Chain A
């Protein structure tokens, strides 16, 4: 009853092209935005930010990025962890001032970038690296491309471990984010307030989602999807596969890089590359995209929420609700999450986004389906 299309007539193509063509959807979207920006920051405490909101926001950006590549352009990538590491390390270098050496001498040192621009540069540098590792996609497809991106994953982690320039020659081999402020409020470092970190990530997520949506509904999105659905036909109707695939790699890596930068600078504060940006991270983000729904921006949010919230919820429920010992709960949590993923994918192989779509179709006619 609430969710209706009937009587909602479009009189221009601009109206018809909206992200949320149905009025109810549109208002719901504004309400969600309002709650996220104006209400949640006042209710936050450290636990909620660290356990729920920050991982969700940051993984959602990564999932959007990977969804553009895998879901929209159909190029499988297992290098997400490596690309996030590129974002994190670029962000670190730009935060602390990039030093350029030549022949054992310091040539020059860039000034330290503001945290906002450091994160942005994390995205830009990752986009460049993504373009480079996207080149094989012109020749190889499917599983073979996945293996090629796997090489990127291992190479990048190795690089950040070995080359001490990347971690500013620190003895531990770790990078840790110094305190940086934006408009007088600390964003990174141990004393950054929860609401500031939350809002900082939220702004990046909101802008990323809007950009991703705009790109995917326009000519770039159609090029990507054409390549995904039938690359030969796409080429015959005038899509340059080189540019289409590389642009997907670039845009995707940009978002993944931003998420890596935020993950390091704002969320964790200190990072050891092999531990944080290993192959598990690549799979985690890929699962988010698959469970959420390939080729759907909403699906990226849903998948990130599912895989971030489910463990938290299970832990609270098993330990807090049923009074189980923590270690037992921790082990069972893995089993339950794994089982849920399998059950879920059997029930709805197209992911949460498809489930949401079907629900909407049904709601549209409810309560008179005939």
Chain B
């Protein structure tokens, strides 16, 4: 990590978002960025995690206001869908840029 200081560059690791450290949360965000809305079961299928695990990561993202939760029904079954918020989109883009910067600075 010292390498960056030597190059007189702002440490890009500061721009990496801690919330996106987890692969599961990164996965949820990636899916929501390209789809208007995704429901719980689709997310579970895409990321291949257990219900409890997925739910806790969703909660973290929801608490940071990165995703919106909408509870609805299909017939009698509950259908909870998720979509990304403006803040979430911004944070995700910033995270991507930070990743890009890090890789560039290491080359």
Do these two chains interact? no
